[in-house]
Amino acid sequence: MAGRGTNAAITSFVLCGIALLFVVARLAGRKFLVKQIGVDDVFIFAAVCFSFGLTATIEIQSHYGLGAHVQDVLPGQYATMYKGFFVGTFFYSAALAAAKISILIQFLRFFRDKGSRIVAWGLIGLVSTYCLICWIATACACQPIAMYWDPRVRGGHCFQILTFWLFSAGFHIVTDLALWILPIPTLVALQMPHRQKYSLIGIFALGGFGCVTSMLRLQKLYVLTKSRDPTYDLLEAILWSSIEVNTGIVCACLPTLKPVVNWIFPKLLGNNSRHRSRQRSQQQTPSILAGKVGGERTSDATEQSDSITLCDEEMGLGGPQQHGAERKSVDMHTLEGKI
């Protein structure tokens, strides 16, 4: 039975490795292609660090009875396993919150209408507050706290922590749905070639897979509330927690990776980002000099053109061949912030 715990730890490490590859690709693209690291990139880097922390606790638990039948786990092993689980809940909450905040900050970069921005800021506040609530609830789940991992402790009490986990899973499903739905109206309203628009909508729609993983985790938690063999049944709930976190990180990175794909495979998407990056680099000094000679810009059209170039460079929209009317067809109030 120890093999189940080891397999879960290995699976979690693999998932973390995949998430890390996406984060590294994202950060490399932002640093070397877009030339701009944003706050959302900092949050997604924090999320993958927390995910590795969660995986480390799964590895510890796998050596102390995770996945084994409860009658085969010694009291000392049981206590150590649940200490690892206790610490892992903090990493889990922090990783999910950081990934969701990263996505919401991306949204704020291209939401121009007041209503969408208010909703996005509200969700940032809600996700941050709920993460703090989860930390406090976990820290105060049992009095004395040792009762959390050692059933031999007497004279204290614990609140219904499993019920709280079910509520938390429901909260994460609702926020996942909100993150999935929130950008759709803005994306649909974009004035750009249909192929690019549908491609962008498709990338964001993949975030719906995060909702699926949250629902599957909820089902495993429900099984755990009825379990008479907690060390055995806890394994799948923990594994799905890792899947949920790392899926969220990957989904948060997907909309930012098109410049990297364009740079590696310029012909694949009909876009030569390397040529455009070189072209912009060559034009940078003359543009700066022109700005100094001409004074401050007063033309909205010029500012919009600059924003289009930056947005196209970061998102991989269009290519160097797109000029004039086709470039002006992009709704700048929507794309000004650059995903």
- What pLDDT is stored for residue 301 in this prediction? 40
- CATH for 123: 1.20.1070
pLDDT score recorded for residue 327: 39
Residues 313 and 167 both lie in one domain: no
Kindly give, in sequence order, each residue whose CB lies less than 8 Å from that of residue 42, ignoring residues fewer than 6 positions away. none
Query: Could you say which of 256, 286, 312 is where a domain stops?
Result: 256
Predicted confidence at residue 267, as pLDDT, reads 60
Domains in the chain, number: 2
| Predicted pLDDT of residue 268 | 56
pLDDT tens across the length of the chain (339 residues): 448 899 999 999 999 999 999 999 999 999 888 888 999 999 999 999 999 999 999 999 999 999 999 999 988 899 999 999 999 999 999 999 999 999 999 999 888 889 999 999 999 999 999 999 999 999 999 999 999 998 888 888 888 888 898 899 999 999 999 998 888 888 888 777 777 777 777 777 777 778 888 899 988 888 888 889 999 999 999 999 999 999 999 999 988 888 887 788 776 555 444 444 444 444 444 433 334 434 444 444 444 333 333 344 445 444 333 433 343 334 433 343 344
Q: Residue holding tokens 């820290």?
A: 139
**135 and 186, same domain (yes or no):** yes
Q: Is residue 261 part of a domain?
A: no
Please indicate, yes or no, whether residues 93 and 9 belong to a single structural domain of this protein.
yes
User: Do 194 and 321 reside in the same domain of the chain?
Assistant: no
Residues 31 and 314: beta-carbon distance below 8 Å: no
Please, where are the H alpha helices in the chain? 2-28, 39-62, 75-110, 114-139, 161-181, 184-188, 194-205, 208-225, 230-253, 258-264, 273-294, 300-315, 324-328, 332-335
pTM of the model: 0.78
- Could you tell me the residue range of the domain that residue 149 belongs to? 2-256
Instruction: Say if residue 299 is in the same domain as residue 322.
Output: yes
134 lies in some domain: yes
303-313 burial string, b = 16+ CB within 10 Å, else e? Answer: ebeebbebbbb
What pLDDT is stored for residue 272 in this prediction? 45
Torsion of the alpha carbons at 268, 186, 255 and 52, rounded to the nearest 10: -160
Q: Do 291 and 149 fall into the same domain?
A: no
Predicted pLDDT at 318: 41
